[in-house]
Each structure stands twice: as structure tokens, then as C-alpha cells.
Amino acid sequence: MSDQTHMNGEHDIAPGDEEQHSVGERIVGYVVGLGLALLLTATSFFIAGTDLVWQPSIPVALIVLAIAQMGVHLVFFLHITTGPDNTNNVLALAFGLLVVFLVVGGTVWIMGHLNQNMPPMDQFIRMHS
């Protein structure tokens, strides 16, 4: 959509709705999404089981692949794009992701430090017995 319509104050489209496309184009979109998703999944499973790559890089690679695949799903299946009529949907998503990141990252970080300084009870007992 052009800036022109936005100037007139058009609404955002509904999350999940696509901008106007023909049925054929829409099906192609899903096919491409499915193809990419399958490809990324296959790569993940392959990397996890292989000895061909440097082992310490595997976790990072898996996380990167997972994030990429989530992106593919968001764009091709949920049609969340960066278009101007999608601002609100993207903002909500960004806020949600920020919170997810803070909660997961914060928990792992905090609990890591807590475990180090104050080991859980059974470890504690093992250490002192």
C-alpha cells in the first residue's frame, strides 16, 4: 500500500489477513512458506545429529535456525509483514517478543547465578555430606 492511502488514515489490516491477492498468489505464498519451513526443519535435524560441524556451534545454529523458521511462519502463514498497514500488529508482536526475551533470558541469567551461589537442596546436601 502506498503512503497516499495511509495519509487518509486507513486502518491497519487484521492480523492474518493478506493484502489483496488472487487465490493463486495466495496458494503460492503458502507453498513457498511450507517449502522454506521444511528446509529449515530438515537442516535443524541434520545439524543436531551430525559430526560434520564443529560441535560447540550446534546450539547456536539450532537457535538461529529456529528463529529463522519462526520468521518464515510469521511472514508466510500469519502474514505479519512490515507493510504500513501492519504497524499495530507488528508493534504488538514486538512487545510480546520483548517480554518473552526478558522472561526467558532473565530467568536463565538469574537462575544461573542463583544456582551457582545457592545450589539446589539435593546438590547442597551432596556437597556437604
Partner 1 sequence: MPAGRTVEGTMLGKLDWSAIPFEQPIPLIAGGVVLVGILAVLIWVVVKGHLPYLWHEWITSVDHKRIGVMYILLASVMLLRGGSDAIMMRIQQAIAYQSQGYLPPEHYNQIFSAHGTIMIFFVAMPFVIGLMNLIVPLQLGVRDVAFPTLNSVGFWLTATGALLVNLSLVIGEFARTGWLAFPPLSELSYSPGVGVDYYAWSLQISGVGTLVAGVNLVTTVLKLRTKGMNYLRMPMFCWTTLASNLLIVAAFPILTATLAMLLLDRYLGFHFFTNEAGGNVMMFMNLIWAWGHPEVYILVLPAFGIFSEVVSTFSGKALFGYRSMVLATMAICVIAFMVWLHHFFTMGAGPDVNAIFGIASMIIAVPTGVKIYNWLFTMYGGRIRFTTPMLWAVGFMVTFIIGGLTGVLVAVPPADFMLHNSMFLVAHFHNVIIGGVLFGAFAGFEYWFPKAFGFRLDERWGKLAFWFTFTGFYVTFVPLYVAGMLGMTRRLQHYDVAEWRPWMIVAAIGMAVLSIGVICQIMQLVVSIRNREALRDRTGDPWDGRSLEWATSSPPPVFNFAFHPDVRGEDAYWDMKLSAQQQSLDHEEPEYHDIEMPRNSPTGFVCAFFATIMGFALIWHIWWMVILGGIGAFATFVVFAWRDHDEYVIPAAEVAAIDRVNLEERRNLVSMAGAI
Partner 2 sequence: MAMTATIGRAHADPHHIGLVVEHPGPAPKRTVTAYGFWVFLLSDIVMFSCFFAAYAVLVSQTADGPKGSEIFEQRNVAIETVCLLLSSFTCGMASIAADVRNRFWFYLGMAVTCLLGVIFLVIEFREFADLVSRGYGPSRSAFLTAFFSLVGCHGLHVSAGVLWLLTMMAQVFAKGFRADVLRRMMCFALFWHALDIIWVGVFSVVYLLGSGV
What distance in Å separates the CA atoms of residue 111 and residue 118, rounded to the nearest whole number? 10
124's grid cell: 547442597
Opening angle at CA 78, ends 30 and 20, nearest 5: 70
What distance in Å separates the CA atoms of residue 18 and residue 76, rounded to the nearest whole number? 10
Return the DSSP state at 82: S
Instruction: Work out which of 27, 32, 64, 111 binds partner 1, going by CB under 8 A.
Output: 111
List binders of partner 2 among 39-58 (CB under 8 A): 41, 44-45, 48-49, 58
List binders of partner 1 among 89-108 (CB under 8 A): 95-96, 98-99, 102-103, 106-107
Say how many residues make up the chain: 129
- Interface with partner 2 (CB under 8 A): 3, 6-17, 23, 26-27, 30-31, 33-34, 37-38, 41, 44-45, 48-49, 58-59, 62-63, 65-66, 69-70, 73-74, 77-78, 88-89, 92-93, 95-96, 99-100, 103-104, 107-108, 111, 120, 122
